[in-house]
Structure 1
Amino acid sequence: MTSSLWTADEIIAATGAQCFGDGNDITGTSIDTRTIQNGDLFFALAGDARDGHDFVVNALANGAGAAMVSLSRAEGLKSAGRLFAVPGDVLEGMQKLAVAARNRAKGPVIAVTGSVGKTGTKEALKLVLSRQAPTHASVASYNNHWGVPLTLTRAPRDTFYGIYEIGMNHALEIVPLTKLVRPNIAIITTVAPVHLEFFKSIADIADAKAEIFEGIEAGGTVILPMDSPYFERLKMHASASRAGRILSFGEGEKADIRAIRIDTTSEYSDVVVSVFGREISYRIGSPGKHVALNSLAVLAAVFAASGNVDDAADALIDLVPPAGRGERLILGSEKAPFLLVDESYNANPASMRAALANLGMVDLSGKGRRIAVLGAMGELGPQGPELHKELAQSIIESGVNLVFAAGSLMKNLVDALPENIVAAYAESSEGLIESLNATVQAHDAVMVKGSLSSKMGLIVSSLKERHGVVGSSAMHGSTLGQP
């Protein structure tokens, strides 16, 4: 039997809801009728395009244990099943239940933000801490005004470690979220030129990321990237907060958790670090220097949470990139394979350069080509054209043989590249599908990346459908020339 997440009395006490109808304890929470599970509490959130109240009947018919609705809409929905009717907005009701969830936390709560790497860092923390105690973490990138409170409401009763990703693209968006999470440990992975459409400078982005400290519990720990040019600025914000300790990570000599050596391949990274002067060596099952550097923040958080740092380091060998965030698949056939690196979920200048560097490390044994399939990067404001153009240097340095580019901003990159490298350009990702499928050959390495708005996932799906998935790259080793 699925364990109880919320009783009716707990929901009523937390939200001030009126309950209509009877039923069992709630075993999960959801805002999406497409993925509703038996026993879930469905939150009927009102959005710009859709109102969740229009889906309450469907949610209850599909097995939801109850629905949280606005009291003003309850009368017309009573016949559908059990309701928790809140006096105000349903989002506010969900936030109140999130507060109750935070209040019953048994161990350290960790919040992660940053321009790049917050989801990967959250996933790494989930991996290593779940092997030490019951751990709950955000799924996917549930890091906004509804994702954070929804994740909090899903925390099982026995949760010891809680890990919450917090995102933003405007100033003051992090403040209400960090005050819900109330972290004991707050991590900023890095500050980079992301969302420049909404900020005057990168320094302003740093200030917005530092909002995470406004919710930190008294005496909590802040973990900052020492190698960032904005380290001192972030440290100033942290020092003005209720935090009791500031830890640093990076390659700098003064970092508390310092990288002594990072050896990267296209499949993994070997890392030697100093944790307050004590040397630890480990392997990360996910490639990239940026992943290795963020692993230092992971170890810093485990240290701050009084976990076992050595066990956490050993567990990182099992860290693999998820779909859309660096997942590596072998397509084609056993005799004629090619590598697909799926980075299609999102992109910004820093993550683009990191992905291109990883593509440059793939061992093709002289038989294949490095192919970069790139979609436009969003929310860069007036600097967008130049930031796209600047990727040309990274492409050349990484030894990329062919570039397929989509989106009007990517035209700036295309114009900056040698003509022999440009395979195709299109206004949309759909416009690249046929030419890419006709071009890819055995032993090639194809990396697909772009902002979510560029819909590069369509290209990934097409490659999988046309050529078939043989397995993960780990099954075939790092050399595509030796299938």
Structure 2
Amino acid sequence: MTEPLWTAREALAATGGLLTDSKDWVAEGVSIDTRTLKPNDLFVVLKDQRDGHDFVPDAMARGAVAAVVERGDCGPGPHLLVSDALDGLRALARASRERSKAIRVAVTGSVGKTSVKEALAAVFRSVGKAHWSEKSYNNHWGVPLTLARMPRSTGRAVFEMGMNHAGEIRDLTTLVRPHVALITRIGPAHLENLGSMEAIADAKSEIYEGLLPDGVAIYPADDAFASRLASHAKETAAGFLLDFGVTPGAAISVTGFESGPGGSTGQVSVLGKTVPFALRAVGDHWAWNAAAIFAAGIASGIDAEQVADALAEVEPEAGRGRAAKIAFPDGEFTLLDDSYNANPVSMRAGLSVLAATAPDRGGKRIAVLGEMLELGPDAPALHADLADAVRAAGVSTAVLCGKLMKHLQDALPAGIETIYALDAEAGVGALAEQLGDGDVVFIKGSNASGVHRIARALTEGRAFGGGKDR
């Protein structure tokens, strides 16, 4: 039998609400979306583009045991009536935290946070009962949902935290109260909202404010803002500071790293002890990711050798650098799907993977790049500045999607063929005309640029007139 997550009485005590109809239900999960709701879930109505109250009848039809609602006239079934459903979800999250003995790790950063979170979750699963943020559930509803879903028997849990504005991570970390807080790297993501790189570093540093007394604050030694991050950490309840990177002298330092089409290998110095490791992921940026994972792993009480063993089995997620061979009418090409979001730092890291991936049978390197958003007034220059990375990657053809990518097109040298597409739909057709046998195709851009749809069209064969309908 699945472990009970919430009884009616426990949810009532956590939220201070009012139970209607049945008062003896038992929930095995928590859901905010009827499309993914499972039988015996507790459904929480939230208001976004739609009012969750409208979906209560559907939730009950799909097997929800009860619904957390703000009004009682929204449909059948047992209800837990609260004044504010999001506050009710946060109350469940706090109660879940308080009843659990799990070691909690919080992860943020401008680049790499989801990859590090997923790999760290795999490390945690290898040594016991683990819990982690699904997908990129890292915002004001995703974090409390993840915490409210945490089984009471969890041994270790990792929570991804994102933000668009100052103060948002503070709210998330004080809800989770982590034992370990990690910042991956600082980059110009959300520069439009925060105004400066210093402000971004300060906003990310809020993650340390939720640390439990004597918690561990982890920061990147190689980052330009390392001292600023460390200074923030010292003003919190952190009892220990750990730095990581490729800088000699860092507490966790990658001392050797090689990456190729089949994966990566390296050695890491963990508090003076050298440990070899291997990854199925590729790209020089994985040296920093690996160091961060080792740092969070040992801070969570896991031996470095156990971390290395688990890392060797981690598969890259779709959209985050996964390589795949794809057959098409003219032969076969390699797809490097790194299409999940982008900023200048992650874009350069991804292009380094393309540079390290050799085409087959005389093929060429093709870069499909979507515009990067939320970069503020420097956005045109930041796009144009990618020209050197595109050239260094050995790109023959660049398919550029979105208005801001026009600045990169203007900056690229004449030797690189450029195709400018206003949107991803136009980019699919342009790319299909360029593809040849043995080519390597790299895809990356902000989510709103839509280039992930190009990756999907290639994977499903729709770019060549086959596969599923859109």
Q: Which residue does 1:64 correspond to in 2?
A: 64
Q: Which residue does 1:262 correspond to in 2?
A: 257
Q: Which amino acid aligns with 1:43?
A: V
Give the secondary-structure state (helix, strand or coil) at the position aligned to 1:386: helix
Unpaired segments of 5 or more residues in structure 2?
Answer: 465-470
Shift of 1:335: 9.4
Question: What do residues 420-463 of structure 1 show as CA deviations (whole Å, max 9, x unaligned)?
Answer: 42341111111111121122111111111110111112211221
Whether the 8 Å CA contact 1:332–1:468 is kept in 2: the answer is no
Q: Which amino acid aligns with 2:41?
A: D
**What is the alpha-carbon distance in structure 2 between the residues aligned to residue 416 and residue 334 of structure 1?**
33
Q: What TM-score do you get using the length of structure 1 for normalisation?
A: 0.93
Q: Which amino acid aligns with 1:268?
A: G
Taking the TM superposition and a 5 Å limit, the aligned residue runs for 1:401-416 are 401-416=396-411
Whether the 8 Å CA contact 1:120–1:291 is kept in 2: the answer is no
Q: Which amino acid aligns with 1:85?
A: L
Shift of 1:365: 4.3
Identity rate, percent: 44
Whether the 8 Å CA contact 2:424–2:453 is kept in 1: the answer is yes
Shift of 1:2: 2.4
Q: Which amino acid aligns with 2:281?
A: S
Question: What do residues 248-288 of structure 1 show as CA deviations (whole Å, max 9, x unaligned)?
Answer: 10122220011111111133111111111111001011111
**What is the alpha-carbon distance in structure 1 between the residues aligned to residue 313 and residue 437 of structure 2?**
28
Q: Which residue does 1:20 correspond to in 2?
A: 20
Return the match for 1:400 from 395, 411, 420.
Answer: 395
Return the match for 2:117 from 119, 122, 127.
Answer: 122
Q: Which residue does 1:29 correspond to in 2?
A: 30
Return the match for 1:377 from 368, 372, 381.
Answer: 372
Give the secondary-structure state (helix, strand or coil) at the position aligned to 1:213: helix
Question: What do residues 33-62 of structure 1 show as CA deviations (whole Å, max 9, x unaligned)?
Answer: 111110111110112x21111111111111
**What is the alpha-carbon distance in structure 2 between the residues aligned to residue 111 and residue 422 of structure 1?**
43
**What is the alpha-carbon distance in structure 1 between the residues aligned to residue 424 and residue 320 of structure 2?**
18
Unpaired segments of 5 or more residues in structure 1?
Answer: 470-483
Instruction: Figure out how many residues of one structure are paired with residues of the other and give that number.
Output: 463
Taking the TM superposition and a 5 Å limit, the aligned residue runs for 1:98-137 are 98-137=93-132
Q: Which amino acid aligns with 1:330?
A: K
Taking the TM superposition and a 5 Å limit, the aligned residue runs for 1:290-369 are 290-332=285-327, 336-365=331-360, 367-369=362-364
Give the secondary-structure state (helix, strand or coil) at the position aligned to 1:170: coil
Return the match for 2:81 from 76, 81, 85.
Answer: 85
Whether the 8 Å CA contact 2:428–2:463 is kept in 1: the answer is no
**What is the alpha-carbon distance in structure 2 between the residues aligned to residue 466 and residue 441 of structure 1?**
15
Q: What TM-score do you get using the length of structure 2 for normalisation?
A: 0.96
Give the secondary-structure state (helix, strand or coil) at the position aligned to 1:205: helix
Taking the TM superposition and a 5 Å limit, the aligned residue runs for 1:37-48 are 37-47=38-48
Shift of 1:21: 2.2
Question: What do residues 221-266 of structure 1 show as CA deviations (whole Å, max 9, x unaligned)?
Answer: 0111001111111111100100000001012222001111111113
Q: Which residue does 1:474 correspond to in 2?
A: none
Give the secondary-structure state (helix, strand or coil) at the position aligned to 1:318: coil
Q: Does 1:219 align with 2:211?
A: no
Shift of 1:345: 1.6
Whether the 8 Å CA contact 2:208–2:236 is kept in 1: the answer is yes
Q: State the superposition RMSD in angstroms.
A: 1.6
Give the secondary-structure state (helix, strand or coil) at the position aligned to 1:388: helix
Shift of 1:327: 2.0
**What is the alpha-carbon distance in structure 1 between the residues aligned to residue 428 and residue 330 of structure 2?**
24
Q: Which residue does 2:189 correspond to in 1?
A: 194
Q: Which moved more, 1:93-102 or 1:290-299?
A: 290-299
Q: Which amino acid aligns with 1:60?
A: M
